[in-house]
Copies of this chain bind each other. A is one copy, B any other.
Amino acid sequence: MPALVKSNMLIAQSGGPTVVINQSLVGATLEAKKHRQIRTILGARFGVKGILAEDFVNLGRESAATLAAVANTPSAALGSVRKKPSSEDCTKIFEVLRTYEVRYFFYIGGNDSAETAHIISTEAAKAGYELNCFHIPKTIDNDLRENDHCPGYGSAARFVALAIMGDNLDSRALPGVKIDVIMGRRAGFLTAAAALAQCYPDDGPHLIYCPERPFDMNRFLDDVKGVYEKLGRCLVAVSEGISDVNKTPIVSAFIKESDSFGNIQLSGTGALGDLLADQVRSKLNISRVRADTFGYLQRSFPTVVSAVDAREARAVGAVAVRTALKQGGSGSIVIRRKPGRGYAVRFECVPLELVARATREMPESFLNAEGNGVTKAFLDYVRPLVGPLPKMARLRGVPLR
């Protein structure tokens, strides 16, 4: 039901930041400024927490220069939150929205944020509060259903590809076993992007482990041994979320007693990398074994941005506002890839419940049969999202006559 009278809109950011999440914020803000149906553009600080606390800023009063600069700045400019609103929260939220005359609500985030939007939309209908409620996609994990890919992924994948390129050269200069732990709790898209680093046939990553396939420590050790014996080194890319056949994360399966890590968290700790390195060192008797956990740099590193990703992140914000004004109601903006030779996408709007909560995993066709690498189908899928990568050069290595 398109709102015919002027009303205010509210936008907020939620979940883990990305380097392009502000593109979506700015895309939505600039689009809203074009439409007379929108009077004031409120930004809530720290997601739903800011709505509950009436912690708002007036985005319509930001200068074009500030918006342009913020769009190019990583992480959520409004602040973020991980909070699922309760029924009482919703009651309070609608009170606040009523006070501020908000009839359009946009929430930028991943599947948890889509769920929040879905809850708010459903509860608003129950409460008889007329609210147009839209989810704007964002996640470096690339795990939103209904989407070909998600804003934030291309840039994070670019970071991973560059990092692995550099680390491959490092390991080539000082050979050994190197293990790089990459974000991704249930979906391996980001870890799989490490494969883009390969310029020469013997370049790493030599092994890639994603959460979609059960991780077996002995098979992993065999794999590493095989590569090491062949090349004299081995570079491994592994998802933080790798789990055994019982879906127990490896990091928690192996680190049990005398656990000094508090709650087992997957990011922001080097535990998994150290565990795998320790296994390689002790079981394979290889002396030079190192592990790095890429951590939060993957989602926040300035200057490493995929141009396609930035453009699409901007677009989904604008599309959300146009869709809300045109058709009203609720929904999640999704990215679909157009069939054909060149890379092109179209944006659609799907019901919130199709995107909320659930995660999308990598399709079978993207992972090799051995479960330790990716396929050409994945590389074809990911390349246009990441953009052109620099070439890493080698000496020709001309022998002495």
Contacts and interface: CB of A to CB of B under 8 A. Distances in A.
B166 A77 contact: no
A47 to B, nearest CB: 10
Contacts of A399: 56-58
Q: How big is the A interface, by class?
A: 35 or more
Given A75-B172, A269-B270, A292 B302 contact: no
A45 to B, nearest CB: 8
- Copy tally for this chain in the complex stands at 2
Nearest to A45: B397
Contacts of A42: 400
Q: What does DSSP make chain A's interface, helix, strand, loop or mixed?
A: loop
A56 B397 CA distance: 8
A73 B325 CA distance: 50
A9 to B, nearest CB: 13
Given A70-B393, A262-B281, A303-B390, A398 B269 contact: no
A63 B271 CA distance: 45
A82 interface: yes
A299 B174 CA distance: 13
Contact of A394 (B70, B174, B273, B289): B70
B395 A57 contact: yes
Given A270-B274, A303-B390, A173 B80 contact: yes
A57 B268 CA distance: 43
Contact of A397 (B57, B63, B73): B57
Interface stretch (A13-21, A241-249, A334-342, A359-367): A13-21
Nearest to A176: B268
Given A58-B398, A262-B282, A293-B293, A162 B303 contact: yes
A163 interface: yes
A271 B274 contact: yes
A276 to B, nearest CB: 11
Contact of A75 (B81, B173, B390): B173
- Which residue among A19, A73, A295, A396 has the maximum number of chain B CB atoms within 10 Å of its CB? A295
A269 B53 CA distance: 41
A289 B263 CA distance: 11
A40 interface: yes
Nearest to A304: B303
Given A13-B173, A62-B398, A261 B290 contact: no
B303 A169 contact: no
Contacts of A72: 390, 393
Contacts of A269: 270, 273-274, 277, 290-291
A319 to B, nearest CB: 22
A312 B395 CA distance: 21
Contacts of A258: 258
A54 to B, nearest CB: 9
A216 interface: no
B290 A173 contact: no
B291 A392 contact: no
11 contacts: A58-B398, A58-B400, A62-B396, A62-B398, A73-B392, A75-B169, A75-B172, A79-B172, A178-B296, A262-B281, A270-B271
Interface of A: 13, 16-17, 19, 40, 42-43, 56-59, 61-63, 66, 69-70, 72-82, 100, 162-163, 165-167, 169-170, 172-174, 178, 258, 260-262, 265, 267-271, 273-275, 277-278, 281-282, 289-297, 299-304, 390-401
